[in-house]
Amino acid sequence: MLAAVLYGQEDLRLETVPDPVPEVGEIVIRVGAATTCGTDLKVWRRGGHARMLKPPTLFGHEAAGRIVALGEGVTGWQIGDRVVANNSAPCMSCFFCQKQEYSLCTNLSFNNGTFAEYLKIPAPIVQRNLLPIPPDLPDALAAMTEPLACVLHGADRSNVKPGDRVVVLGDGAIGLMFVAALVQRSAEVYLFGGSDARLQIGEQFGAVKTFNHHHIDDIPCLVKQLTDGWGADIVVEATGSPAVWEMAIACARPGGTVNLFGGCPRDTTITVSTEQLHYSELTLKGVFHSTPHHVKTALDLLNRRQFPFENLLSGQQPLSELEQVFQAMKARQVIKVAMLP
C-alpha cells in the first residue's frame, strides 16, 4: 500500500509498504479520509514527538474508514462497518487509570499511520476507543473526533461556568474547536488569532468578539479593558508557544484558571511571577490528550451538527499532495485538509 513515512524534520516520504495484517484482537480499516492536524504539523516541523512516535514511522493520527479485516477474537464488528478509531487507548489498570485519570495512563497505546490506504488498529484501541460512525456523518468530519475529544477534555478541565468570560489565544483548529466547546458551556468567548478568515470561523462558532493580534500592542491590557479591569475568568492557550503561555497567565483575573493546552517545544521553560501566582490565587493547568468518555462525546457533537465544524476543512486532497499540504499548513494557508488515499 501507499503510505506516508516520517524520517525526520520536514522529511516526509510516500512509500510503498506492506499491507497491514491484523493480529489477535486487531482490525484493519481502509482509510476513507485522514485529516491533517496541528500536532502533525508540529511533529513534521520538529522531526518527532516525545511520547507519540519516533522516526522513521508511519505518520498521521486522525482517520475514519471501513473495516476490511478482523483479527482473531474480535467480536461486535463486521467487515464493511464504518468506524473511527482514536489514536490511543488507556490500559485501564495502571495507577492513573485506577484513579480514572486516563489521559495520564503510563501505558497509553498510541497508533500512527493514518496517511495511508490502510490502517491497522491495535487491540486496546479496538476494545476501548473504536466507535461506529453514524450513517449521515461524512468520513472527513468523523476523522476530527480525536482532536475534538482532546478539546472537550480540556474544556472540562478548565473550571468554566455559565457566563464566564473566556479568552482563547490561538486560531488554529484547536483554538477554534475550543470556542465551540466553551460556547456550548454558555461561556462568553473572546478569540485572539492572526488570521481574519479564521477569526470569522470563530465568530461562526459563537465567539462574542475576535481580535487579530497583529493589530494589538498589549493583549493583556485589552483583556482587562474587556473585563471591567479584572482579566478573564478562564484563559486557554492554544498555540504551543512559551511566550504565549506567559501572556495567557497575564490575561487571567485573580482567582482565574489558565489552561496551558498548547504543547510547547521540548525542553522549553516559562517564567511565572510567584507573587502573582500566590496572591492572585491563580490556577495553572497543563492539559494533555483525551479520555474514552470524551472520544464518545466528541463523535456525538460532530454528528449533531450544532457547530459548523466542516468550516475547519480547507478542502480535500489526494495522498500524493501530502507534502504540499503540510507546506500550506506551515504558511497558515489552510487549517485542516482531508487526505483521500
pLDDT tens-digit readout, 264-302: 988 899 999 999 999 999 999 999 999 999 999 999 999
- For 186-198, the pLDDT digits (tens) are 999 999 999 999 9
Cell output for 286: 497543563
Mean pLDDT taken over the chain: 96
pLDDT of residue 50: 60
pLDDT at 87 over 70: yes
pLDDT of residue 192: 98
Dist CA 296 CA 86 (whole Å): 10
Cβ atoms of residues 85 and 125 within 8 Å: yes
Fold of the CATH domain 158-286: Rossmann fold (3.40.50)
Of 127, 131, 132, 23, residue with least CA distance to 75 = 127
- Residues of each domain in the chain carrying CATH 3.40.50.720: 158-286
pLDDT of residue 54: 79
Cβ atoms of residues 318 and 340 within 8 Å: yes
Provide the pLDDT confidence category of residue 42 given band limits of 50, 70 and 90.
confident
Buried-state track 184-209, b at ≥16 Cβ within 10 A, e below 16: bbebbbbbbbebeebbebbeebbbbe
Dist CA 245 CA 287 (whole Å): 13
**What average pLDDT does range 109-125 have in this prediction?**
96
Dist CA 194 CA 275 (whole Å): 31
pLDDT at 48 over 80: no
Handedness of CA 200, 201, 207, 210 (dihedral sign): negative
pLDDT of residue 51: 67
Share of the chain above pLDDT 70, in %: 99
pLDDT at 132 over 80: yes
Please, what is the end-to-end C-alpha distance for the chain in angstroms?
10
Spell out the residues 6+ positions from residue 263 whose beta carbon is closer than 8 angstroms to its own. Answer: 39, 42, 240, 288
- Residues of each domain in the chain carrying CATH 3.90.180.10: 2-147+290-340
Q: Which CATH architecture has domain 2-147+290-340?
A: Alpha-Beta Complex (3.90)
DSSP letter for 103, please: G
* Strand ordering across the sheet containing 11-16: 11-16, 2-8, 57-58
